[in-house]
Amino acid sequence: MSENSQFRFPGATGVGSLPGGDAREAAKTATGSFEDFPFLPELPARGPGADMIGRTAGMLVELYARVEPSGWRLGDRPGRDTKRARSFLGEDLDALEEFTQGYEGDLKVQAVGPWTLAAALELKNGEAALSDPGACRDLAASLAEGLRLHLAEVRRRVPGARTVLQLDEPSLTAVLRGQVRTASGYRTHRAVDRQVVEATLRDVVGAHADGPVVVHSCAPDVPFALLRRAGAAAVSFDFALLTERDDEAVGEAVEGGTRLFTGVVPGTDGPLSDPAGSVMGVRTLWRRLGLHPELLAEAVTVTPACGLAGASPAYARQALAHCVRAARSLADNPE
């Protein structure tokens, strides 16, 4: 989107994955925890096709993937793994529709972005699609078309929602730095040119022409400036991995109208601090950057540090509720 600042996001939401395998229970949790910013849950514990790569592979148009011992591999025709992935997604959409009757407001859906997908999906020779520029282009085009269809289906089922698309790109930094390993494990794939990375992301972001796109990565060294130029309205990240080296890029992002989805609540079971304590680091960052405290509620959405698939169901519910309370603390006491 060219005008990031036109979008206003609510104060808290989830990242995507939840524990367990019950689609109705997950939808109930995701919609009940966030009255103004629910999300379509992902339940990878159900197995292949419910994992993030398999789920997104099932959305591709005229490209298909199947499970091999080494991971997901592109093939010529849809098989049982594609059907399973689409079936899981259908279950999740049915459950979401049930718990969003009459809902009007923001609704977030997640899919793997083009570069993490290219790093994870194998070609017939066993190497990552990342090794072949033509395969990367085909994959991005297929993904963009698949996302358009998926978002249209979500809007059909929840007509009052403004859909927010989250692209998960945990491998993006490794792609930019040439750190993605080859099939043998002895070498790494060549770094992809930053302009090619940016242009491809821009094309996929453009698949959601009538709504904002968030790019999420819980890896270190998130390329904030590149993501902004590619059209991301918001960047979602693990706040604990931020360093002072990121200050300038974060400050420029905020001043340019980019929303920060700050992952401040741990994604696995453990003691939770008080809500104000969870966002203390965000307030400290704000002071360090010399930004106005009143901007905090406008510029920050509070989330878990990453997906909650590895948490217990009880902790996952606590963590999501904690995000809401932490966001309220930021809004009530920005200083």
Task: Please check whether residue 116 is in contact with residue 179, taking contact to mean a CB–CB distance below 8 angstroms.
Answer: no
Q: What pLDDT, on the 0 to 100 scale, is given for residue 310?
A: 96
Average pLDDT along the chain: 94
Taking the C-alpha atoms of residue 237 and residue 264, their distance in angstroms, rounded to an integer, is: 9
Whole-angstrom CA distances from 41 to 89, 139, 304 are 10, 24, 14
Alpha helices in 100-235 (DSSP H): 114-120, 133-157, 172-177, 194-205, 224-229
Task: Please check whether residue 298 is in contact with residue 10, taking contact to mean a CB–CB distance below 8 angstroms.
Answer: no
Domains of the chain from N-terminus onward:
3-332 (3.20.20.210)
Task: Please check whether residue 29 is in contact with residue 47, taking contact to mean a CB–CB distance below 8 angstroms.
Answer: no
> Residues 24-43: pLDDT tens digits?
999 999 999 999 999 999 99
Task: Please check whether residue 16 is in contact with residue 87, taking contact to mean a CB–CB distance below 8 angstroms.
Answer: no
Phi and psi for 261 in degrees, rounded to 5? -95, 95
- Strands 71-75 and 64-68, how do they pair? antiparallel
Asked if residue 3 has pLDDT above 50, the reply is no
pLDDT band at 335 (very low <50, low <70, confident <90, very high): confident
As beta bridge partners, residue 110 has 166
> Residues 218-249: pLDDT tens digits?
999 999 999 999 999 999 999 999 999 999 99
Taking the C-alpha atoms of residue 94 and residue 22, their distance in angstroms, rounded to an integer, is: 12
> Residues 57-90: pLDDT tens digits?
999 999 999 999 999 999 989 999 999 999 999 9
